[in-house]
């Protein structure tokens, strides 16, 4: 399996999985994708169904990842999966439980039972093990530079904390996360964890990460890598839970189901796109946004328009307060027939000069619903409150506000998309206690496992929105190498 950049030319030589694992963003500014997606059929799905039922989630992850990883010995890859996905980390042997809501067509895929109570743990725990393995094999080290709008940061830090070959620098938008999310990150005392509160919004944090990566000399000197979903390894880990959920909901190997996915950065739903391209029987991919509806605007109009920082609303589903969806480039690359030159023009020149690009009226845009199965919707704070309240009092199911965005949009598509519809949970409700109380009047207690960080002194550096200042901070505090 070889990997190519979304901005590379056709026929360009590909890289191996272990190399792109450590590189993160491609040198030309693009994102890595397999040169071609591996294909699965009914026979493979039947074998995976047996593996999940008899050997569990880690064994299934090994089978799925083996299609994408050919430069790590199979036994070693199995060990990595077994260390990443344990009942101790995820609360039960199922790792990803699936729950039906009442007797209707709606299901919830519970992805948030990991160490930080967010779906990001599903990929980060694997990524931590992959990094540890590969750096040990190469006798190397890595400086992780990432951006978070809420949950990526804590999931990454919990997966990487205490690892002596890794240092983590996580940029957060100052004042834009919930108190619980801030405490999870800023309360960690590990020496290899560095939190930076940037004076800006998430998109600014993401831009700084990209700017640092574009400084080839600095990136090489400090061995800069990525844990955001721009890193292909993280995204392919998410493909596994689409497979697991599909297996748990279906009864036959050709049954089609739909997924409703809350998303801001297009990472979670991009994994669903990859799974669908591989041949997993997915009918519709229902994209749910909040008031920051850049992606919904594209899927309904064909115009992808990036918002200025001042236009990014602070909402009650803050992890989706994003206007530049990094992983969207992967989908557009596929949409355009994997034309790297055209993709580079859209995401490079056109976004830089105009702040938007327009595919409306093109045959590619017209093909999206039927060829790729994407539909979309957006919701408001009032919609989230109503959804949380209704699910809890009608069905005894409590969800966080991001998952509520997904449920709200899923309800709009019941009867249109093929049933059942599985909403992917993003976090446990306790992380957003204020919104839960507003919706239900419930006072949620902090789980005992988080008491230590909630009470711990905060370790965070306040920096301006300036890539140069961030590089200075890394140079001053990095103890690797």
Catalytic positions are: 120
What token pair was written down for 263? 């998303």
* Cβ atoms within 10 Å, residue 138: 12
Query: How many helices (H) does the chain have, and how many strands (E)?
Result: 22, 15
What token pair was written down for 44? 């493979």
Strand partners, 374: 285
DSSP 252-267: STT--EEEEEE-SSSH
Contacts of 115 (CB under 8 A, 6+ apart): 89, 121, 125, 155, 158, 159
- CB–CB of 124/117 below 8 Å? no
Sign of the C-alpha dihedral, residues 175, 176, 180, 185? negative
Backbone dihedral region for residue 355 (phi beyond 0: left; psi -120 to 50: alpha; all else: beta): left
CA 443 – CA 215 distance, rounded (Å): 47
What token pair was written down for 349? 């020149």
DSSP 285-341: EEEEE-S--HHHHHHHHSEEEPPPGGGS---SSGGG--S--TTHHHHHHHHTTS-HH
CA 262 – CA 424 distance, rounded (Å): 7
């Amino acid at each position: 399996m070889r990997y190519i950049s979304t901005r590379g030319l056709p026929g360009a030589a590909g890289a191996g999985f272990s190399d792109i694992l450590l590189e993160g963003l491609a040198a030309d500014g693009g994102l890595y994708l397999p040169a071609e997606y591996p294909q699965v059929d009914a026979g493979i799905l039947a074998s995976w169904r047996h593996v999940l039922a008899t050997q569990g989630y880690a064994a299934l992850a090994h089978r799925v990842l083996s299609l994408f990883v050919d430069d790590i010995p199979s036994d070693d890859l199995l060990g990595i999966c077994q260390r990443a996905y344990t009942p101790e980390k995820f609360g039960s042997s199922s790792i990803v439980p699936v729950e039906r809501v009442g007797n209707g067509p709606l299901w919830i895929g519970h992805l948030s039972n990991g160490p930080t109570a967010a779906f990001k743990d599903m990929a980060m725990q694997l990524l931590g093990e992959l990094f540890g393995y590969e750096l040990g094999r190469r006798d190397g080290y890595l400086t992780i530079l990432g951006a978070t709008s809420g949950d990526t940061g804590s999931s990454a830090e919990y997966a990487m904390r205490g690892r002596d070959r890794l240092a983590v620098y996580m940029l957060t938008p100052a004042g834009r996360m919930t108190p619980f999310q801030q405490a999870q990150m800023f309360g960690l005392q590990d020496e290899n964890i560095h939190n930076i509160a940037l004076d800006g919004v998430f998109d600014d944090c993401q831009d700084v990460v990209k700017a640092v990566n574009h400084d080839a000399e600095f990136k090489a000197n400090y061995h800069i890598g990525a844990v955001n979903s721009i890193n292909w390894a993280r995204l392919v880990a998410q493909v596994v839970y689409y497979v697991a959920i599909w297996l748990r909901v279906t009864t036959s190997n050709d049954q089609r189901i739909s997924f409703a996915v809350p998303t801001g950065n297009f990472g979670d739903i991009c994994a669903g796109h990859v799974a669908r391209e591989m041949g997993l029987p997915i009918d519709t991919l229902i994209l749910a946004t909040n008031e920051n509806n850049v992606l919904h605007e594209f899927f309904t109009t064909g115009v992808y328009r990036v918002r200025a920082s001042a236009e990014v609303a602070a909402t009650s589903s803050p992890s989706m307060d994003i206007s530049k969806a990094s992983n969207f480039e992967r989908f557009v690359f596929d949409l355009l027939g994997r034309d790297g030159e055209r993709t580079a023009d859209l995401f490079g020149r056109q976004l830089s000069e105009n702040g938007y690009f327009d595919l409306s009226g093109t045959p590619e845009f017209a093909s999206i619903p039927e060829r790729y199965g994407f539909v979309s919707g957006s919701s408001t704070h009032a919609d989230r409150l109503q959804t949380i309240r209704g699910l809890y009092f009608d069905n005894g199911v409590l969800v966080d506000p991001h998952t509520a965005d997904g449920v709200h949009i899923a309800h709009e598509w019941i009867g249109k998309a093929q049933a059942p519809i599985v909403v992917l949970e993003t976090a446990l409700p306790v992380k957003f206690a204020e919104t839960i109380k507003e919706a239900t009047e419930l006072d949620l207690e902090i789980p005992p496992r988080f008491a230590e960080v909630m009470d711990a002194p905060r370790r965070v550096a306040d920096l301006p929105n300036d890539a140069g200042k961030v590089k200075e901070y890394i140079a001053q505090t990095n103890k690797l190498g």
